[in-house]
Structure 1
Amino acid sequence: MKTPVKYFVSVAVILTVGCLSSSVNQHRDVAFWHAQHSPKSILLNYYGFIADFNAQLNNLPDPHLYQLALNQVVDAQFAWALRLLNNEEADAAMPFWRASVDQQGIEQRRQLSASLFRFERWEDLEYLNEQQLLPAGDVAEHLKLHRSASPRRIEQGFANDEGFLLDFSQLQAMPQCQYNVLMMTDHRLGLRQLNALSQRYRQHPQPRAASFCFSKPIYLGNTIDCQQQPDAAARCNWHPFIADKTWPAGFDFIVMMTATGFGNVQGGIMHLNSTSHYGLFLHELMHFNGFEDEYVLPAAKQAWLCDQRGLVAPNLFIANGVAPPKGWTLSASCQRGSKAYKPSADWSIMQYQILPLSEQYQQLWLQKINEPHYQPVRFADYFQQMEPAMDFINKMTNKNIAE
């Protein structure tokens, strides 16, 4: 409870301001001291020295700043919200900054948006954007990426700083690499994940150095339609891209990272989702060079693959009336038709993607890409099969493409 003595001190501090202008600084200091030592008097002292208190809101202890915020002191509401955000209390901060943000300057709003971005508070950032209170800059650009906005709406300078591309115009294949790969995504998290995957690959390239070179991630945003079914294989509709895009010369494969869906390879195009781990990426990369899964294949694939004969993949032999290579063991790939065999009795990365690439499978991979006349199925082949009349920059021989 406030004692009469404390109350009269507070009143005296305020009244003295009008009578002794030469003592303003002294009385202001007394007000600050009194406010710091008596939280309940903070309002009385604040209204005596509003400008001075506003200039030092960030120096007030939590109880004092909270009292001002509760009493709808606008700058205190905003300062209290930022303090809560710094303490990782984003939910508690929201009502305070929403009540005060429209009266803040651009630098204060920039500080708020940076804090909200740090916690990935996309709905809050969307609110600021809708109220036209989100400053232009990196956070606003990240929000566009989060919404999968069109590449045309993304600032080029921001894309340069973040290390991704908005189109194919400056892409060039690396002639020293055996295969060049276009890395693409339709969403923000995909950009980061693609960079992480390619960076890890460069640290330990397989099956040898310069086997694969990866482009910077290319952001497609809402210009491509990708299915959003987490329990199904990742898929995108490439038909509009076949005629509308000028594809760069010298690229062999595409890695497309979607938000959801199981990883798979079809016709020189790898689909991954943005939570895919590196083992799966390497597993799918081996599919580019014809490796088959060593777990049970889909029934539709078994219907044609498991009735073949001999070596159908670097790691799969179909014993349709012929003996498998020496040392090869049964594979779970074929549950119908002829039996399938794999090179090793041990589990491999083609059966469980969490396993590392073994020396044996690395050598099989290397042997495959070193075959003199070996030509893998490239994305251009796949597109040509979908649209035979399409004019590619890099014409390639049409092949039979099987999923």
Structure 2
Amino acid sequence: MLKSSLGLLCTLAWLFTGHSDVIQYLPFLHNQANSNQQPLHYLYRAYRAGDEQALEQLSQRAIALNDGYWLHFAKLAGSAQAKRYFSYLQVGNEGNKAAIKALNYSAKRGELDAQVALYHHWITQNQLEKAQHWLSRAAKRDASSALMYAKWLSLKGQESQALESLQIAQQLGSAEALKLLNMRAGSAPKKYSELTLASSKAVVENCAQRLQFVASSLHSVMQGQAFIDNFANDERLKTLPICINRPLWLAPDSLTCSGNWQGAGRLGCNMTRMSQSLFGQRFTHVVVLAQAGKANVHNGVMFLDSQDDYNVFVHELAHFAGFIDEYPLSEGLASVICELNDAPNLRVSRQGHQPDMLGWQGLTKGQRIAVSESRTCDNHQAQAYKPSTKMTFMEFYDVPYIPPIYLRAWAERLANKPLLTPAYINFYQGYDAKGDTEQGTYWRTRYQHYLQAD
């Protein structure tokens, strides 16, 4: 469905005035189109200033971005590409078969925008084989289509073909494809004999947590990068001292995972195998992006699958700081959690007794604490309480609300290293279980340096 850009309506009065006074600024306008966050706006201005080629550039970019607002003005200005694209959008019943026929004619003649339009049409009709045909054709000449096709192939498990399409996208000028390829090139594991602990001594710098995403497929790497981009723009979390490295794109055999790891019914991976790609890397916690399984956090490693979205990531991220789920825990888990009283977001007390709110009172800046019952311990005789009367992100993934007191408690917990468990512990435990003293010592020493670092 086409998106609109109504925020730019206020510019239209200026755009439709005389353009003789801006002709001399065409180079400036094209430069702005290549570097500004509103490139279509500047391309349209260049067209209004007399540059006919800018109209076709506007149409091409608007089609790639699926931006109906600027496609509309490109169509009104006479763009053949925009007109053909809109003819596809109008196809929705038997009376419009002629439009599809016209698009097929243009697409078979090699017209790129018609091929892209047919891809979108067949996707909306759930005709995946036809959609893939036209996307694969467009991917040979269009960077955006090549990148999209690479992800398509990766989702189908065709990683070698996905890599080829990604390389084509890079050759066609895709900056995103180049960035993704660099993630792959930079993820080759180092030999243990080449490593020292010098790089780990400053592991946290000014970051209480430094996350490292790892994945072994293109679509998972792209999923991780999308999470990173969302995190960078998430106003809720901007005060938290959390940093994120770019994802590491590992070889398929470097990440051995299962949706029922060790029979626990949760997603998990071979820690020692994974750690071979992380020697010498600067991180404190790891986020694994695997194919399928239930999201969870174990010590310093988070496990997500290809269906998990950014909301799930944020929920699990809070677990790194000791936050507890506010939905009913299983009896087994409740028997442990509901006997403790150290979660930032919960206090547990016996039925009929008020919770101890001393720790929360220092976070409210003198304001009254609004406390309500949490469902966490519904399968236990104790009662859990939370410092909020509203449903929060710890009860349901899709609830975006994070109370201010939660954020202050989160920041306070991140400042207390002994209460945090980095991924070094996961790796140490893995090697210890195998009896590998040498590599186990490496990760144990990194944990010790982590605790000692300023």
Q: Name the structure 1 match of 2:407.
A: 362
**In 1, Cα distance between the equivalents of 2:225 and 2:374?**
34
The alignment partner of 1:302 has SS state of: helix
- Say which SS state the counterpart of residue 211 (structure 2) adopts: strand
Instruction: Note if contact 2:221-2:247 (Cα within 8 Å) is conserved in structure 1.
Output: yes
Matched, 1:164 2:183: yes
Report if the CA contact (8 A) 2:167-2:177 is conserved. no
Deviation at 1:267, TM superposition (A): 1.2
Q: Which range moves more in the overlay, 383-392 or 190-199?
A: 383-392
Size of the alignment, in residue pairs?
297
TM-score normalised by the chain length of structure 1: 0.59
**How far apart in 1 are the matches of 2:388 and 2:292?**
33
Secondary structure class of the residue paired with 2:293? coil
Q: Does 1:199 align with 2:229?
A: yes
2:271 is matched with 238
Corresponding position of 1:276: 308
What is the match of residue 446 of structure 2? 395
Distance 1:385 1:287 in 2: 20
Alignment-derived partner of residue 332 in structure 1: 375
> Could you say which residue in structure 2 is the equivalent of 1:50?
none
What is the correspondence of 1:312-351 to structure 2 with a 5 Å cutoff? 312-320=342-350, 323-325=354-356, 328-334=371-377, 335-351=379-395
How far has the Cα of 1:380 moved from its partner?
Answer: 0.7
For 1:257 and 1:175, how far apart are their aligned partners in 2?
25
Q: Is the 8 A contact 2:211 2:287 kept in 1?
A: yes
Aligned to 1:220: 250
- State whether residues 413 and 419 of structure 2, in contact with CA within 8 Å, keep that contact through their aligned partners in structure 1: no
Alpha carbons of structure 1 residues 304 and 215: separation in structure 2 relative to 1, 3 Å? same
More helix by share: 2
- In 2, the alpha carbon distance for the partners of 1:96 and 1:350 equals 43
Deviations 1:254-311 (A, max 9, x none): 01112322321111111122332322222111110101001011232112222x25x2
Q: The residue matched to 2:419 in structure 1 has which SS?
A: coil
Instruction: Give the whole-Å Cα distance in 1 for the aligned partners of 2:131 and 2:318.
Output: 49
Q: Which amino acid aligns with 2:411?
A: L
* Partner amino acid, structure 2, of 1:360: I
Q: Answer yes or no: is 1:303 the counterpart of 2:335.
A: yes
Consecutive unaligned residues of structure 1, counting only runs of 5 or more, are 1-62, 71-75, 102-107, 143-156, 399-403
Structure 2 CA distance for aligned equivalents of residues 210 and 350 of structure 1: 17
The answer for the alignment partner of 1:189 in structure 2 is 219
Query: 1:59-74, aligned counterparts within 5 Å?
Result: none
Letter in 2 for 1:225: T
| TM-score of the pair, normalised by structure 2 | 0.53
Superposed CA offset, 1:52-108 (max 9, x none): xxxxxxxxxxx9xx9xx99xxxxx99647979734416756999999xx9xxxxxx9
Matches within 5 A, 1:2-401: 79=109, 85-88=115-118, 91=129, 110-111=140-141, 118=148, 122=153, 138-139=166-167, 160=179, 162=181, 164-165=183-184, 166-167=186-187, 173=203, 175-204=205-234, 207=237, 209=239, 211-223=241-253, 224-227=255-258, 233-242=266-275, 244-245=276-277, 247-248=279-280, 250-306=282-338, 308-309=339-340, 311-320=341-350, 323-325=354-356, 328-334=371-377, 335-353=379-397, 354-371=399-416, 374-388=418-432, 389=437, 390-392=440-442, 394-396=445-447
1:163 Cα deviation after fit: 5.4
Q: 1:201 to 1:95 in 2, by over 3 A?
A: closer
State the alpha-carbon separation in 1 of the partners of residues 211 and 335 from structure 2. 31
Amino acid at match of 2:321: N
Greater gyration radius: 1
In structure 2, runs of 5+ residues without a counterpart are 1-97, 123-128, 171-175, 191-198, 358-369, 450-454
Contact 2:284 2:422 in 1 (8 A): yes
